[in-house]
Amino acid sequence: LPISQSLSSQNPNPNNNSNISQPSKISWKSETTRQLYSSKFLQTLRHMRLNSSSSPAAPSRRGRAVREAADRVLAMAARGRTRWSRAILTGRLRIKFMNKKLKRQSARATGDSRSPRKPRVEILKLKGKNLPAVQRKMKTLARLVPGCRKETLPAILEEVTDYIPALEMQARVLREILALFNSVGAGGGSAGEGGSAGEGSSSGPLPPENGSA
């Protein structure tokens, strides 16, 4: 495949960090991390393409599935070392099994379904005397970072320092993949015009698999 060869010319191993308590050990600017994320995301896209061929979905649902897959692979690349990565991964499981859990929990208790944790000094309930603007910005920031809506200010700042570089790496990889998809689609369209009349032109974003090109 031309995309997988150009994005993952080598198959790097993830960073071997035994210290789980320090999420900053993962360098989102390193070439190894970028190539690992690229290869894993391309594998996920190919798997999604095989599933969508049997049960086609609406374009809006496909776009949402691609965005969720990009975030899920990013959280897997973080290996659960941060709150935001754990929130993304556990959020997927929570959505998957929410209906069954809600039925069981509603039979026992009514108010415990959402937040069973004990309240702490949370940024969303922070009452600053003369910092309303800062408080407002931190509330917004807490909502933007997954898993930080009820965290303390130091915890949110620690997560932001890891989440923003991860998003920058993700955006860079997605731009590269999109550019390669466009180049492959353009090449397939020109070849289709010269060969069979429009039959082999770009019917989808992903290149053909298993050497059918």
- DSSP state at residue 25: G
- Rounded to an integer, the average pLDDT of 126-146 is 78
Please state, in angstroms and rounded to a whole number, the distance separating the CA atoms of residues 180 and 116: 46
pLDDT score for 56: 66
Query: Residue 123 above 80 pLDDT?
Result: no
Query: Residue 76 above 90 pLDDT?
Result: yes
CB 100 within 8 A of CB 37: no
SS3 157: helix
Residue identified by tokens 């959280």 is 75
pLDDT score for 15: 47
- Give the best-scoring range by mean pLDDT among 18-27, 53-62, 140-149, 200-209: 140-149
SS3 50: helix
Please state, in angstroms and rounded to a whole number, the distance separating the CA atoms of residues 206 and 182: 9
What's the pTM? 0.60
pLDDT score for 136: 84
Give me the helix-helix angle, 59-78 and 153-194, nearest 10°.
130
- Rounded to an integer, the average pLDDT of 15-42 is 75
Query: Residue 140 above 60 pLDDT?
Result: yes
- Out of 11-25, 62-76, 168-182, which region has the weakest mean confidence (pLDDT)? 11-25
CB 152 within 8 A of CB 123: yes
CB atoms near residue 172 (< 10 Å): 15
Q: Where are the alpha helices (DSSP H) in 55-152?
A: 59-78, 83-96, 98-108, 132-144
Percent of the chain, pLDDT > 70? Answer: 54
Please state, in angstroms and rounded to a whole number, the distance separating the CA atoms of residues 191 and 114: 55
pLDDT band at 61 (very low <50, low <70, confident <90, very high): confident
Query: Residue 81 above 60 pLDDT?
Result: yes
